[in-house]
C-alpha cells in the first residue's frame, strides 16, 4: 500500500509527546516504542490496575491497547485538520496474559479519503500471541 505523510515525515518524538498528553494513555501508562511508515509498536507494563478478578489482564485493557495502537498507526497519514474517530473495534483473544508487559504491533490495512482500517497483534514478553484486533475509523 502506498502511503504519503502529510506535511512532514513522521518524527517519533513529536508523536510520542502528543500520545503522552492524552489522559487515557497516561492512565494506562502506554509507551510508544516505534512509529514509521510500516506501523507502530506500543507497550504496556502489566500492573495491578489492569488485572481482572482472576489475575489476568482485563480484556478492556487489551482492547484499549489495540484501539490506541491502530489509531496512532493511522493518524500521521491523515491531514491535521481532519478528525479521526473509531467506528468499529473487533478483537479476538487467544490466551490470558498476566505478568510482565504486553506489546501491540499495528499497521494500516486501508487508508481512504473517508475511512481507514488497521490491525494490531498483542504479544506477551515471550512473543506469544495474546490477541489480535481490527479497528475501523471515520475520517471527517
Asked if the structure places residue 87 within a domain, the reply is yes
Asked if the structure places residue 1 within a domain, the reply is no
Residues 32/16, Cβ–Cβ less than 8 Å? yes
Supply the DSSP string of 9-60, one letter for each residue.
---HHHHHHHHHT-HHHHHHT-EEEEEETTEEEEEEE--GGGB-TTSSBPHH
Predicted confidence (pLDDT) per residue in 9-21, tens digit: 545 567 777 887 8
Asked if the structure places residue 2 within a domain, the reply is no
Record the pTM. 0.89
Asked if the structure places residue 132 within a domain, the reply is yes
Residues of the domain holding 65: 12-139
Predicted confidence (pLDDT) per residue in 3-51, tens digit: 555 444 545 567 777 887 889 888 899 999 988 888 999 999 999 999 9
Number of folded domains that form the chain = 1
Asked if the structure places residue 48 within a domain, the reply is yes
Identify the CATH number of the domain in which residue 120 sits: 3.10.129.10
Asked if the structure places residue 71 within a domain, the reply is yes
Amino acid at each position: 500500500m502506498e502511503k504519503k505523510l502529510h506535511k512532514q515525515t513522521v518524527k517519533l518524538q513529536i508523536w510520542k509527546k502528543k500520545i503522552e498528553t492524552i489522559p487515557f494513555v497516561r492512565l494506562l501508562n502506554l509507551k510508544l516504542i516505534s512509529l514509521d511508515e510500516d506501523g507502530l509498536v506500543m507497550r504496556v507494563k502489566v500492573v495491578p490496575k489492569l488485572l481482572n478478578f482472576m489475575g489476568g489482564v482485563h480484556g478492556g485493557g487489551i482492547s484499549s491497547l489495540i484501539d490506541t495502537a491502530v489509531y496512532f498507526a493511522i493518524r500521521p497519514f491523515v491531514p491535521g485538520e481532519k478528525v479521526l474517530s473509531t467506528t468499529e473495534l473487533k478483537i479476538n483473544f487467544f490466551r490470558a496474559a498476566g505478568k510482565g508487559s504486553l506489546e501491540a504491533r499495528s499497521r494500516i490495512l486501508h487508508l481512504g479519503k473517508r475511512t481507514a482500517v488497521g490491525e494490531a497483534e498483542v504479544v506477551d514478553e515471550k512473543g506469544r500471541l495474546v490477541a489480535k484486533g481490527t479497528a475501523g475509523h471515520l475520517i471527517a
